[in-house]
Amino acid sequence: MATMHCTSRALLTGAFGSAFHRSSTLPPSFLIPCLATKSPASPFSTSPSSNARKDGNPSRGVSALHHTGPGKRQKLRSITPSQLPQPVRDPERRTAIVTDPDHGLWGFFNKERTSMPTPMDLVNHGRGWKTQELRGKDWEDLHRLWWVCVKEVNRLETFLGEKRRVGSMFGDFEAEGRMKVIYATQKAIREVLTQRFYAWENARVAAMDDVEVNLYADPEKGEQAYVPREEPEQLEADANEGTLLYSPPPPEGMNRGPEVRI
């Protein structure tokens, strides 16, 4: 058996042979208060605890949607519970709702006021207006026709929305054909109005260079927008010899000279 070194033997004897003292197992005295009390910790759940403070609102929990009435401790000061209106759950006992037959929302439906017209009703329409036909219409007629097209688009959009809601499988082709006719009419109206705008703009630019037109005249004050000149107008003749100038006739008793040509 190998002999242990005296130094190592002495160390082991001092570590395991000596009795443990109480002072060596306890933490320092300044750490005892923090170990004795439970440290606060944040809960893992983000929902408030059940022992949260109440806000003191006596009407808390009263909901007309969930049919939760006043609690036992809640008191109504203005009326008694017997005077509260009771909901009518029987559909036969409910009061009929009267609607205005001329209400504007009926414009989103057809003449029969049904949200789901048949395919035969969708294809029962004429052709769209052409540009040549709309050029003879005034502003009031074009404005009225434009809003007729808008109302027709609203009816078709109402039908398509209801069709998607109920899962219907018919009416797509008929509604698309009717929508193309409406869009063609609206495109023709915009084209006519654009042509009129450019025609008016060209006339305005030409009037700015015309000395006989006063664009700043105020008719309410008696001012005339068109003031013809007193001098005779010059007549232009497309001839090989040049432009023929018009001269007023000479007074009586005077010999008329030869015509002046340039």
pLDDT in tens, 19-69: 445 555 666 777 766 666 555 555 555 665 555 556 666 666 677 677 676
Q: Does any domain span residue 247?
A: no
pLDDT in tens, 69-102: 666 766 767 777 777 788 888 888 888 888 888 8
Distance CA 197, CA 205 (A): 12
Q: Does any domain span residue 184?
A: yes
Quote the number of domains for the chain.
Answer: 1
Q: Does any domain span residue 36?
A: no
63 three-class SS: strand
> How is 117-160 classified by DSSP, letter by letter?
--HHHHH---PPPPHHHHTT--HHHHHHHHHHHHHHHHHHHHHH
Q: Is the dihedral of CA 43, 46, 51, 52 positive or negative?
A: positive
Q: Does any domain span residue 49?
A: no
pLDDT in tens, 103-139: 888 888 888 888 888 888 888 888 999 999 999 999 9
Task: Find the domain containing 160 and state its range.
Answer: 118-206
Query: What confidence tier does 235 reach under pLDDT thresholds 50, 70, 90?
Result: very low
For the chain, the residue count is 262
Q: Does any domain span residue 133?
A: yes
Quote the pTM value.
0.50
With a CB cutoff of 8 Å and minimum separation 6, the contacts of 185 are: 128, 129, 145, 149
Considering 14-28, 82-96, 139-153, 225-239, the range whose residues carry the highest mean pLDDT is 139-153
Q: Return the closest-CA partner of residue 181 out of 222, 219, 215, 148.
A: 148
Q: Does any domain span residue 164?
A: yes
Amino acid in the structure at residue 235: L
Q: Return the closest-CA partner of residue 244 out of 254, 230, 232, 253.
A: 232
Q: Does any domain span residue 211?
A: no
pLDDT in tens, 173-196: 988 999 999 999 999 999 999 999
Q: Return the closest-CA partner of residue 214 out of 202, 228, 194.
A: 228
pLDDT score of 133: 93
pLDDT score of 41: 56
116 three-class SS: coil
pLDDT score of 243: 46
Distance CA 97, CA 43 (A): 53
Alpha-carbon separation of residue 31 from 40, 41, 120, 188 (angstroms)? 17, 19, 90, 91
Block residue for tokens 């404005």:
143
Residue 185, judged by CB atoms within 10 A of its CB (0-12, 13-18, 19+), counts as buried
Q: Does any domain span residue 107?
A: no
